[in-house]
Amino acid sequence: MILVTGAAGKTGCAVVRVLVARGAAVRALVYRPSQVGLVWELGAREVIVGDMRDQTTVKQVVQGVRALYHICPNMSPDEFTIGKLVVGEARSAEVAHFVYHSVLHPQTEAMPHHWGKLRVEEHLFESGLPYTILQPAPYMQNVLVGWDSIVEDGVYRVPYAVETRLGMVDLEDVAAAAATVLIEPGHQGATYELVGTEALTQTDVAAILSRGLGRTVQAQAVPLDVWEEGARVTGLGDYQVKTLVRMFRYYESHGFWGNPNVLGWLLGRRPTTFATFVERTVRQKQAPPIIRH
Ligand SMILES: NC(=O)c1ccc[n+]([C@@H]2O[C@H](COP(=O)([O-])OP(=O)(O)OC[C@H]3O[C@@H](n4cnc5c(N)ncnc54)[C@H](OP(=O)(O)O)[C@@H]3O)[C@@H](O)[C@H]2O)c1
């Protein structure tokens, strides 16, 4: 049995789907009763509803699992507290393999959510647990947040300069790599950076979107204060807004990218390019909806 925490989130669903497709028995930890149906449909064998910050819940979910894939909620101020709790309970339950979903360059102190993940990694090293750490680049799927204005207005809006250079990775490739390290032997003690593309400017990204959509798309920088106002209107919390602002400033000052070689080696093929991701997204958006009875 493999436990996936944060299982109903964007990353969790992708990982559960691939694990099930590869024949693994999955126990899913979800936050709300309303998320249970989603992970059942993905094929999870067991679903537990609970809070990762709660020791009783964490103690219960780690019981009897061979391996676990720990995904902390996105932009959580509790990343380290949750990480320590999950590592501690996994150790007490003698879990044989702890795989941690970290982030590319957790060493960047200027980004608090990266720094929190570095501290979890350090705690994991010191726990004595057999571990693997995956460090994904920003997902290509983040572009989907602005998909409608890309398609309808031909504008790709980003809260940093359009010259900002970023590497990206397809979440489907991340999930495939996660399933490989969880199912196949030989990955204990490893830390893998998961990067799919070379560093692309936002103008490069817009040019690839233009080709994939068959219409002109232009990258446009949104001033940070305008972005912040919009984010607060959507109800995003203060910690999340401030942390994202710091991340966007870091991106603009330094860029953020890595190297795709490790991911290519883990997948046994070239990682998905951004052009392929756009083609796939266009196909999926055009497909008729699946109606379930
Ligand atoms: N997005 C990227 O480009 C990227 C790149 C690299 C790494 N990452 C990392 O990937 C991780 C997952 O990101 P994501 O976007 O997949 O997250 P997500 O969609 O927000 O998923 C997190 C899941 O955890 C649930 N959750 C929230 N609080 C919880 C709690 N206290 N106890 C149990 N479950 C709880 C959420 O439920 P609710 O929805 O009900 O709150 C949601 O189902 C993050 O740690 C992020 O830093 C992201």
- Ligand 1 in reach of 145 Cβ (< 6 A): no
Say yes or no to pLDDT of 12 above 90: yes
- Ligand 1 in reach of 174 Cβ (< 6 A): no
Per-residue pLDDT, averaged over 221-236, amounts to 95
Per-residue pLDDT, averaged over 64-74, amounts to 98
Per-residue pLDDT, averaged over 43-56, amounts to 98
Most informative mutation of 5, 11, 58, 239 for ligand 1 (most atoms within 8 A of CB):
11
| Contact partners, residue 193, CB within 8 Å, separation at least 6 | 104, 135, 137, 258, 259, 262, 263
Per-residue pLDDT, averaged over 194-205, amounts to 97
Distance 17 CA to ligand 1 centre (A): 16
Per-residue pLDDT, averaged over 224-249, amounts to 96
Residue 47 has a pLDDT of 98
Give 287's DSSP letter.
S
- Ligand 1 in reach of 142 Cβ (< 6 A): yes
Q: Which atom of ligand 1 is nearest to the CA of 82?
A: 31
Say yes or no to pLDDT of 290 above 90: no
Per-residue pLDDT, averaged over 4-18, amounts to 98
What are the tokens at 217?
């798309």
Pairing of strands 67-70, 155-158: unpaired
Per-residue pLDDT, averaged over 195-220, amounts to 97
Residue 289 has a pLDDT of 66
Residue 287 has a pLDDT of 78
Residue 286 has a pLDDT of 87
Helices then strands, each counted (H, E), the chain: 12, 11
Per-residue pLDDT, averaged over 24-52, amounts to 98
Most informative mutation of 31, 47, 141, 143 for ligand 1 (most atoms within 8 A of CB):
31
Per-residue pLDDT of 246-257, as tens digits, reads 999 999 999 999
Per-residue pLDDT, averaged over 124-137, amounts to 98
Per-residue pLDDT, averaged over 194-213, amounts to 97
Q: What is the pTM of this model?
A: 0.97
Residue 73 has a pLDDT of 97
| Contact between 93 and 1 (Cβ < 8 Å) | no
Per-residue pLDDT of 138-192, as tens digits, reads 999 999 999 999 999 999 999 999 999 999 999 999 999 999 999 999 999 999 9
Residue 122 has a pLDDT of 98
- Ligand 1 in reach of 119 Cβ (< 6 A): no
- Ligand 1 in reach of 160 Cβ (< 6 A): no
What are the tokens at 250?
């870091």
Per-residue pLDDT, averaged over 119-126, amounts to 98
- Ligand 1 in reach of 6 Cβ (< 6 A): yes
- State the Cα–Cα distance between residues 241 and 229, nearest whole angstrom: 9
Give the mean pLDDT of the chain.
97
Q: What is the number of alpha carbons within 13 Å of residue 40 lying toward its C-beta?
A: 7
Residue 102 has a pLDDT of 98
- Ligand 1 in reach of 101 Cβ (< 6 A): yes
If 0-12 CB within 10 Å is exposed, 13-18 middle and 19+ buried, where does residue 38 land?
middle
- Ligand 1 in reach of 9 Cβ (< 6 A): yes
Residue 7 has a pLDDT of 98
Say yes or no to pLDDT of 292 above 90: no
